[in-house]
Structure 1
């Protein structure tokens, strides 16, 4: 046998022994099953069933949740270049994230919406068997339609997939936005957004950025949920900051204070202040919309410049950095405190509770 010799078709009984027992019609043809034979087997009382266009379930009973997931991905994914691999299972090839040098195709269909949140471990998302449809994210120009248990969601650029139990899934922030786009229950939306932050899945700014991109921030029930989300994210960031200061042996600051000049104007509030070192710390918990607001940005810049003119060093930390690398953030603060002795004494500043 040479490398050009085609593989012999597998017996039909072996096709039903795969893990998911799903195949596309192209894969069945590669195994020697004609279109006419496939149609006959998918007919009334037959041993197979057509679950989605060109996707065949190789048993007569209802599909499992796993089979529905993989059927949706088979329907929305492209065939491999050079034709389907014999014995291929119902999966969409995906390049693992973080391995830039690894060869191989990139997923062209990702599970998103509520199904993706369930796979990510959200307790507030419904279990897979209760979902009538599974949202699948595909490039905008793909010629696909919503049908059966597959609801097509289009995007100009697919996000980097995350593999969950072998299934290519949209990142949490994107999956949330796609789920919220189909939800009208304010309580459900609020629970999902809160769990995203409280469960450590992503930062509020990432969620707001995706909601803004999807043009969902004009919906009143979404705006109310985002307000709760931002408050939740702020509280968690403050807890991380307290823990970072104490676990890394930093001097205890004055927490959440307002700064003023004696008899003069209000300089602004800060999250932590070390008066002996003239070092102030601010948590940057602005949402994506606030970051793009020139008025909000100008106010932040004005406060920082004013404090630094008075000899106060202002350290900015983000919730994400506090979560991902608290040791490095503690080192940033410690460096600012140690450098205080090399600076000119700061102006006298009145510190008041905020």
Structure 2
């Protein structure tokens, strides 16, 4: 360790030799520039360079045309002359977005706060975030001209170069992907859709989000609603297609759960009625001998219909209560549970079937195909 500060000599206990006492407040000696460029981090802010003893004037000299460094973004320097990699561009965008709050110096791991990150309050979102999450329908990182980065609404930053600033009132809790703070899929999806006018591209993104198991439709609709995107016809059409497809996918998983876990075959997609009376509602699966039903809970707020949604959900609750008063056990299964915990859901259904022998007989109902 090199020390530029003063060294105080004190007499040892034996009265003989003298030991140097280091002044820990003294600045570090500048590292040779080639050592900086060869280090593990090849993207640094001006503040970080100053911490290494490189003045602003020296950094500017290194970044002159034909020089060994280049300025990627205001206040952010790439320590080599060649084209930046996608990782270097992402780091540059995050450092640019975080530099005013952190002074350009990464926050130490374990730092407390609502969004502890090495890049302060800056989160990658939009297409780049979706690509990092593993989407195949978004462009690869090298083909993106700019990366969207979320920052708090009051930050005074401008979009420039490969950094596109997206302000938000509430910063989402980031997920760490390859060591970078990345917005959760539903939020990244909403930020990507906000910039899209092509209906097919929007539909493809929403479909991959659900079909690929990245998130459920309800989470997508919540984020699109919060972003006020459901007043755009092409987004509404894509959401309606998404909800219809997610229903079909959930039904397929329900069939597979019954088959793979050895449950007896039910009556599929039926409607129950009282003899000579009103209809009791539709069910996805029904075991008449045990009076056990399974209903897929695929409810999600539909575009433009909050009152209708509330009425539909209230009717859904009334139907369940009515069936249970008649002695019919209703097992509700969500698409996410079918996807993530199919074995547990099968165990719940099996338990309900076995428990039917200990219950009073249910009321007689008519089962008709839906």
Q: TM-score, normalised by structure 2?
A: 0.86
The reply to whether residue 337 of structure 1 matches residue 353 of structure 2 is yes
Unaligned runs of 5+ in 2: 1-21
SS in structure 2 at match of 1:77: helix
Name the structure, 1 or 2, with higher relative contact order (CA <8 Å, separation 6+). 1
Find 1:308's aligned residue among 304, 324, 329. Answer: 324
Q: Is the Cα contact below 8 Å between 1:262 and 1:349 reproduced in 2?
A: yes
Map of 1:147 onto structure 2: 160
Structure 2 CA distance for partners of 1:177 and 1:347, relative to 1, 3 Å: same
Unaligned runs of 5+ in 1: 86-91
SS in structure 1 at match of 2:87: helix
Find 2:68's aligned residue among 22, 28, 47. Answer: 47
Q: Is the Cα contact below 8 Å between 1:193 and 1:225 reproduced in 2?
A: yes
Alignment of 1:1-354 (within 5 A): 1=22, 3-78=24-99, 84=105, 107-289=120-302, 293-354=309-370
Q: Is the Cα contact below 8 Å between 1:107 and 1:161 reproduced in 2?
A: no
The CA RMSD measured in Å over matched residues stands at 2.4
Distance 1:38 1:82 in 2: 17
Structure 2 CA distance for partners of 1:64 and 1:176, relative to 1, 3 Å: same
Distance 2:354 2:208 in 1: 38
Q: Please, which moves more after superposition, 104-113 or 303-312?
A: 104-113
Distance 2:119 2:47 in 1: 20
Q: Is the Cα contact below 8 Å between 2:292 and 2:353 reproduced in 1?
A: yes
SS in structure 1 at match of 2:221: helix
* Aligned residue pair count: 343
Q: Please, which moves more after superposition, 305-314 or 181-190?
A: 305-314
Distance 1:26 1:200 in 2: 41
Distance 2:141 2:287 in 1: 51
